[in-house]
Structures are given as structure tokens and as C-alpha cells.
Amino acid sequence: MASQDWFDKDFYKILGVKKDVTPAELKKTYRKLARKYHPDSNAGDLNAEAKFKELSEAYSVLNDPEQRKEYDAVRAMGSGARFTAPGGGGAGGGFDDVFGGMFGGGGRGGSTSYQQADFDDILGGVFGRGGFGQPSGGYRGFGGPTPGRDVTASTTIDFLTATKGDQITLQTAEGRTIKVNIPAGVADGQKIKLRGKGHPSPDGGPAGDLVLTVAVRKHPVFERDGLNLRVNVPVTFVEATLGATIEVPTLGGEPVKLRVAPGTPSGRVLRVKGRGVSTSKGTGDLLAVVQVAVPSHLSAEARAALERFHELEPHENPRDDLIVRARG
């Protein structure tokens, strides 16, 4: 927003609040008005749309402590001041009016002198730091419009949405609704930047961005391993020993059948190609990790059969190699 607009517009009046309004009261008032005049609630009403923009403009300034401080300082100079180019022919109202008001006189033809530091302090305070004529911030004729401020937000999505991708709807603190496309394969803690969805510019520049941090809920069965999905699959002792064909769940789809080879140990990974996370960078696999399930209760008959098997199994200690390697 050009500083001349700050002279002309009474943001406190626009929002209907007092000059000593607290940040909490300011937000509460703005939210109430924003809901009343939001375009979604007043389809085709151009007056409501204009009022909503006016409210947003006022709130963006007063809600920012630094901008509010500068705005109050500019308004204190008096609404009659104007910024005119030297030699413009206007009667007063030029830079002398501004500086005269701030330094208590001097004016055109006066004897007051100012150092460069004085001008930088004045213009930095009025126009947003950076000094007069510098390309960062500063006087609008040199620095250009000020981009709107970025907004940070966070949301939690389920595991399936993070893996497959989907569109979700968020609501901002001002009551606006924003649709966000969640890309397939988004990771827990990843940030998504939505360009132009942040605070509007105070002076006609581009709006800021919305930086959304995504948290992903854990899945009761699956977990991410890069682009792969990992799942623990229990098999019985007999299935692992003699071999079997088992069903393994997939994320959001029908189970698939896998062959467990005879003598499969606990911890072996069985791979299902192409059933992992699919993104523009590639597609992962489903990794089924075999977990041999040991029965907690045996009937007398089953125990007798197992003891008979123990008598017949090879008499080898499966830990011998482990002990040898540990000593080495």
C-alpha cells in the first residue's frame, strides 16, 4: 500500500474498533466481519466483495505490529499531507509538510538542516526500512510494491491420503477455505508451498505464500520405507517349515497371494513388485516381512507330537555360529 493510502484510509474506522484495540479483540472483530462479507456467503454481491477486500486490507496492516506502528505514525502527521514531486506547482503539502510536522517546523525556506542519517531514519520508519531510494523495501517509487507476508500452517492427514495423494480443504483463521492438492508420497513433516495463498499485499503487490507442514498419521499395518511399503506378516511354524501360499494385505486394495518357501526363517522379506508408493519419481514395492508365530497354548496331543518331532529333528544348535562370530 502506498503511504498516501495510509493518510487517506482510517483502518480503525473500517473495522469499527478503537485505536487502542488489543490484538485479540482485533482478530475477533475481523473474523466476525470477514464471515459476514465473505464472497462465498455473498455470491454475486460486488459491494460485499469490495467490503471484504477493504476489511482484509485494514486487518493485514493493523494485525502486523510493525506495520501498525508505522501506520499510526503516518496518520499522526495529518491527513492533509501529500507527497508531491518538487516543482509540481501544488500549494504546500509536499515533503516540507511531512518533515516540518515531524521536526516541529523548518519547512520551506527554514534554517533547519538534516543529515543523511536523519532522512534514512525518517523514511525508514514511514516507508518500511531500507533507506530512501534503496531497492529493498523503502519508497515505493524505487522498491516497488511490497509482497504480502507468508503464512505458516499445519495439518494432519491419514496414511492413505499421504501415500495415494488427494485434495483436502483447509480453513484459514480469517474464515477462508483453501483447497490443497496433496501429492502422492508426501512424507511426515514435509512442507508444501501454496503460492499466493498467504496474506494479501498492502499495496497491490503479489500475495504471500502459504507454507503448509504436513503430519501423517501412523497406519496400524503399513509403514513407509522410502517408496516401499513394509508390512509384518505372521506365518505359523508349520507354514514356515513346510511352505505355504498365504494372503498379504495391500494398501487400499485387495490382498495378494505370496508363496512362502519351505524352511523360510522369521525376518525374511518377500517382495511384491509395484504395490508400494507411486509418485512421479517412481513406484515402490510392497515388502512383506515374515514373522513366525509361536503358539502360546498347546493341547496335550499337540505337545506330545511336538516332543516327538524334537526327537526326530536334526540335533544342531542354531546358535553355534552366532557364538563363534561373537568371540571373533
pLDDT digits (tens, 9 = 90+) for 262-276: 999 999 999 999 999
For 71-98, the pLDDT digits (tens) are 887 777 654 434 433 344 444 444 444 4
Tens of pLDDT, residue by residue over 126-185, are 444 443 333 334 344 445 678 888 888 889 999 999 999 999 988 877 777 888 999 999
Q: DSSP letters of 241-299?
A: HH-EEEEEEETTEEEEEEEEPTTPPTT-EEEETT-S-EETTEE--EEEEEEEEPPS---
Residue 5 pLDDT: 60
Average pLDDT (187-205) is 88
Predicted confidence (pLDDT) per residue in 293-302, tens digit: 988 888 999 8
- Smallest Cα–Cα separation from 172: which of 56, 68, 62, 67? 56
Percent of the chain, pLDDT > 90? 39
Each residue of 13-50: pLDDT tens digit?
999 999 999 999 998 998 889 888 887 778 778 888 88
Element (H, E) at 35: helix 23-37
Q: Find the mean pLDDT for residues 268-297.
A: 93
Question: Is residue 7 over pLDDT 70?
Answer: no
Q: Which three cell numbers mark 8?
A: 487517506
pLDDT over 80 at 232, yes or no? yes
**Cα gap 237→89, rounded to integer Å:** 99
Of residues 202 and 136, the one with the higher pLDDT is: 202
pLDDT of residue 258: 95
Planar angle of CA 296, 297, 299, nearest 5 degrees: 155
